Amino acid sequence: MSKSSSAAETIRPHSSAVVDGNDRAAARAMLRAVGFTDADFKKPQIAVASSPSDMTPCNVHLGDLSDHARQGIAAAGGKPVYFNTITVTDGISMGTQGMRYSLVSREVIADSIETAVAAEGFDGLVAIGGCDKNMPGAMIAIARLNRPAVFIYGGTILPGFTADDCDHKKPLDVVSVFEAVGKHAKGELDDAGLKAVEAAAIPGPGSCGGMYTANTMASAIEVLGMSLPNSSAQLAVSEAKRQDCERAGEAVMNMLRKGIRPSDILTRKAFENAITVCIALGGSTNLILHLLAIAHAAKVSLSLEDFREIGERVPLLADLKPFGKYNMSHLVRIGGIRPMMKLLLDRGMLHGDCLTVTGETIAETLRDVQPYAAYPHEQDIIHPWEQPIKSSTHLRVLHGNLAPGGAVGKITGKEGLYFKGTAKVYEGEEDALKGILRGDVVKGDVVVIRNEGPCGGPGMREMLSPTSAVAGRGLIKDVALITDGRFSGGSHGFDVGHITPEAAKGGPIGIVRNGDLIEVDAVKNTISLLIPDDEYAARMAAYRPAPPKETRGVLAKYAALVATASEGAVTDKALAL
């Protein structure tokens, strides 16, 4: 083997098998038709996978960002090849049967990216995502493929303001609209007021503006080391984001030349770092679901217990929506998440030796990062270590006779740390929303929404509509909500989701009756159905889950394959046993 051919195989380990040699003439002929030249066949082929779509503001601009990523790859000596995958938008399908496809789309996206990259022999990958499921979906594919790759976050949206908010004191986002619906139902907001919020809340491209799931996952991916520094804290429509895309193209070529692969980056320590930072930022409960799934794809051991254990030593420091005051765009102005990472590193809370896509370690990328401006006189978004919003994690991992396999609560303390109330049971989200808007739910109730789990939904819908309706009706501190479904990153209140086993799998949430007492203790981390043991046993023995809702198509396949929420709701878990 010649030295030149050896070098080619080193930086073209996959594309060389597709386009080199006389026997590959047909493949080259196909590629010439899409713009390849003789010179291009000698370059590493780098896929640019994105999900541009007119379906949602989170993704509408991703085509433009893909162009900049391709420019960066070409300038660094690679041959960019673009393809797109699907996306769905939770903000539009929320509260409808269409929302059942949301979490399912994560697996479809992961499968489609893996399929295209592996089938066509790409040497590396730049993946661009802008919303809740295409981001973890892309990361699952990156972990499975284990080829040099960089993830690019599409960026956060700017806040909206109604016409009468001349001083811009009341920033709006999509959650503002959901909560306005509850206020309208209560009579606090008239039709014109609801329309004003609807028309102003989402002013342009970008992902939902609080520390909801998109910004949580963008932060997690940056801390994992799979995106460039500051990629998570840039506005969707900005020169900084365009430059981020171009640098990502250069970075993936650098990884290829240095032999850096995702498996070198996605280590157990890297996942611990991501959990730590996202707890301090006040991240979404979906962080747990998605990090478990990405870790599974990366063959890294991670469990609910890790989130509990790490969370007990990490304070909540960021006053960000949904439970706080500020949007991600405000955090961008004061430095994004990098100063938070540096703060945690300096306190020994991060593993500084973890590798990143830059080729440097986390500690090396943070060496010149300056701290946030002084609190509270110069900024009041990030609290100092000594004055946390909460001294330990808001993401509570709960167990008890209602959730033997675990559950996840998003409890900041603003709504209290303990709730005992009377069950009001609904067999699905739509019925619950109708009941809340009708006024059936009153102070002291525990709203139970079941048959919404990964299998039973199928698809594990988010309960943003019910939680926002509760907030809009002024019951945020007086009502708890539990479900075998999940919560949007925009949900806030005394909420517990991911209850495992789910009702469809014979879980105890299926035996709860109207009027039962339920206790949730976010200090002891317990969730309990307060009925006598013999009654509990009798109900469990008599319980028969409902038959599958779907018997054909993607939802039926998903329901048949999906693992529990406590295992990340992945669809290939059984294959690894």
Annotated binding site for [2Fe-2S] cluster: 58
**Annotated binding residues, as ranges?**
58, 90, 132-133, 462
Q: Characterise 252 by phi-psi region: left (phi > 0), alpha (psi -120 to 50), beta (else).
A: alpha
How far apart, in whole angstroms, are the C-alpha atoms of residue 105 and residue 95?
17
φ and ψ at residue 495, rounded to 5 degrees: -120, 135
How far apart, in whole angstroms, are the C-alpha atoms of residue 531 and residue 493?
25
How far apart, in whole angstroms, are the C-alpha atoms of residue 219 and residue 276?
11
How far apart, in whole angstroms, are the C-alpha atoms of residue 194 and residue 181?
7
How far apart, in whole angstroms, are the C-alpha atoms of residue 366 and residue 345?
9
Tokens of 156: 């956060």
Q: Which of 105, 207, 488, 566 is catalytic?
A: 488
CB atoms within 10 A of CB 16: 21
SS3 track for 405-437: EEEEEECCECCECEEEEEEEEECCHHHHHHHHH
DSSP type of residue 156: B
Mark whether 238 is an active-site residue: no
Whether the CB-CB separation of 469 and 499 falls below 8 Å is answered with: no
SS3 track for 72-103: HHHHCCCEEEEEECCCCCHHHHCCCHHHHHHH
Strand intervals (E) in 188-236:
none
Q: Give the residue numbers marked as catalytic.
A: 488
